[in-house]
A = this chain, B = another copy of it.
Amino acid sequence: MLYREALNRAIDETMAADGTVVVLGEDVGLYGGSYRVTEGLVAKYGEERLIDTPIAELSIVGNAVGMAMAGLRPVAEIMTANFSLLAFDQIINHMAKYRYMSAGKIALPMVVRFPQGVSRQLAAQHSESYEQMLSAVPGLIVLAAGDVNYAYHALKYAIMSDDPVVFIEHELLYNKKGEVDFDADIDPFKARIVKEGSDITIVSYLKMVDDVMEAVPQVEKELGKTCEVVDLCSLNPVDYKTLEASLKKTGRIVVVEEDHKTGGYGAQITSWAAEEMFYSLDAPPIRIAGEDVPIPYNRTLELAAIPTPEKIAKRIAEWGKTNGL
């Protein structure tokens, strides 16, 4: 099953099971979603539950907040992460805060989904990642689907959760193939050990997990050591328990993210490692991240702006060698 099909199925099943689930966004209905995530659903559930909205992101999220207040379970799609900036007031000042400000009187069972990241030459206004901004907002759950099975289970959870959830997808994952274990009991807040290993903990999420996995054989060969690869899955809250266990075993941590290095999300993981796990560290915790530049259109420059499997492998091997591995 493709990643986008897994997402589609998660929405489909929750819509079938719960008549209060509605989907809204640009081209989500008749068009089937610009990444085909909602394909076929309007035929099943009608235009009242697959709501094609105008290009008005502030309203898309703002309306979803109001729907949730009134007892629906809206799933709002923002076509691309960059456009979500137009809705940041509704996401941060409203969606994240009504429950707290109302002392729990108002619950917002809603999801805001969007794809993010560097795709293929979409340039600076269509290539960004906002997990660092949104994971810093108390009151929001932030899930990042880097895996087909996780995407299915986590989205179902998100839709049926009574908390507001930001659900992040990656533009390059929609056609990724994977197995879905429909009966599995997945805790969406638990980090996923993608590969076990004993010498280096590599933490990542979304598409970078795949790039890390591609880099690992090279690293292991060069260093003669094994890597443990962790997909964070939930970016807020973070499953620090899993990270702690892994780090205690390996003594070394590398965080790989696609976003710009300055201010990127990964800083809080290495910062946590330094603050909470200092005496378990056998080497400086490092971050491999994108360059501090807007994303350029030219393909060579674009690839130079973000981590690639080659760059990841090279950097980890170098760091390992200069730090006693």
User: A interface vs B, CB < 8 Å?
Assistant: 58, 82-83, 85-86, 88-89, 92-93, 96-97, 100-101, 123-125, 128, 132-133, 135-139, 236, 238, 259-260, 262-268, 270-271, 273-276, 278-279, 281, 283-287, 291-294, 296
Contacts and interface: CB of A to CB of B under 8 A. Distances in A.
Contact of A264 (B136, B266, B274): B136
Identify the interface centre among A89, A265, A274, A292: most chain B CB within 10 Å of its CB.
Answer: A274
Contact of A271 (B92, B283, B287): B287
6 contacts: A133-B136, A136-B262, A236-B262, A238-B262, A271-B271, A278-B284
Nearest to A260: B138
A264 B276 CA distance: 16
Nearest to A236: B262
A251 to B, nearest CB: 13
**What 8 pairs across the A-B complex have the smallest Cβ distances?**
A136-B263, A278-B284, A274-B274, A267-B271, A267-B268, A85-B89, A85-B88, A267-B267
Contacts of A238: 262
Nearest to A135: B263
Contact of A286 (B259, B270, B275): B275
Given A82-B93, A85-B88, A123 B136 contact: no
B123 A132 contact: no
A124 B136 contact: no
Contacts of A292: 138
Contacts of A273: 274
Given A262-B136, A263-B132, A285 B275 contact: yes
Contacts of A263: 132-133, 135-137, 236, 265, 268
Contacts of A97: 124-125, 294
Given A85-B92, A132-B133, 19 more contacts: A58-B86, A82-B92, A85-B89, A86-B88, A88-B88, A97-B124, A97-B125, A100-B296, A101-B294, A133-B263, A135-B263, A138-B294, A263-B265, A266-B271, A267-B267, A271-B274, A271-B287, A275-B285, A278-B283
Contacts of A283: 278
A135 B133 CA distance: 10
Identify the interface centre among A259, A265, A278, A283: most chain B CB within 10 Å of its CB.
Answer: A278
Contact of A274 (B132, B279, B284, B294): B284
Contacts of A89: 82-83, 85-86
Contacts of A93: 82, 85, 124-125
A92 B85 CA distance: 8
A123 B279 CA distance: 39
